[in-house]
């Protein structure tokens, strides 16, 4: 079943929607999978000032650096999100490693528990990838994401929609014994 059949609107956030962005992020960080899905905690997110959320949302609503997509139900409730960061050739990533190709980086993937398995995540990824491939000068060569080695459900989903394990493994912040796996989707 497609999320469209569930009457969702998949779209980019608007700059003035910071309160909804904040609420959805905090909800994602309260999810039982949050410890292996996010590099953030609910406590840290809840303590951030409104100005943080306003700036974050404005940045994710326009420009080339990042775009956040949300699934808005017919009741107005936001039930899912995905963000695409642009990593430009010659810059460094969140691990302070050099970026060797202009690429997208998917982060902040979340679908509320009651909407999982409905096609909503696929529709969010479709919107994020379409945006990534639409960027020009320079065009993105690939889109990547990181997934915890124990998050098998997410790994299976990413493979099903076309991502491949690149073989790159990085230590998890705060737990060097755990690894995150890089999955990539080459430019079609």
The H helix count followed by the E strand count for the chain is: 6, 7
Q: Give me the pLDDT at residue 17, please.
A: 98
Greatest Cα pair distance in the chain: 44
Asked whether residue 1 carries a pLDDT value surpassing 60, the answer given is no
Q: What's the pTM?
A: 0.92
Q: Before 138, cis peptide (omega within 30)?
A: yes
Q: Give me the pLDDT at residue 6, please.
A: 57
- Could you read off the pLDDT of 135-147 as tens digits, one per residue? 999 999 999 999 9
The pLDDT mean for the chain works out to 93
Q: Collapsing DSSP states into helix, strand and coil, what is residue 72?
A: strand
First-to-final CA distance of the chain: 25
- Could you read off the pLDDT of 21-55 as tens digits, one per residue? 999 999 999 999 888 888 889 999 999 999 999 99
Establish how many alpha carbons lie within 13 A of residue 94's alpha carbon, considering only the half-sphere containing its beta carbon. 12
């Amino acid at each position: 079943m497609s999320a469209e059949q569930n009457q969702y609107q998949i779209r980019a956030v608007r700059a003035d929607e910071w309160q909804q962005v904040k609420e959805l992020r905090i909800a994602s960080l309260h999810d039982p999978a949050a410890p292996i899905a996010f590099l953030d905690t609910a406590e840290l997110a809840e303590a951030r000032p409104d100005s943080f959320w306003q700036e974050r949302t404005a940045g994710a609503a326009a420009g080339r650096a990042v775009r956040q997509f949300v699934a808005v139900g017919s009741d107005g409730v936001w039930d899912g999100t995905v963000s695409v960061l642009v990593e430009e050739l010659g810059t460094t990533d969140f691990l302070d490693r050099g970026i060797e190709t202009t690429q997208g980086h998917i982060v902040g993937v979340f679908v509320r528990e009651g909407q999982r398995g409905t096609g909503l995540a696929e529709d969010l990824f479709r919107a994020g990838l379409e945006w990534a491939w639409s960027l020009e000068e320079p065009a993105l060569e690939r889109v990547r994401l990181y997934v915890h080695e124990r998050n098998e459900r997410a790994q299976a989903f990413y493979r099903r929609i076309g991502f491949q394990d690149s073989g790159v493994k990085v230590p998890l912040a705060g737990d060097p014994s755990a690894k995150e796996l890089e999955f990539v989707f080459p430019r079609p």
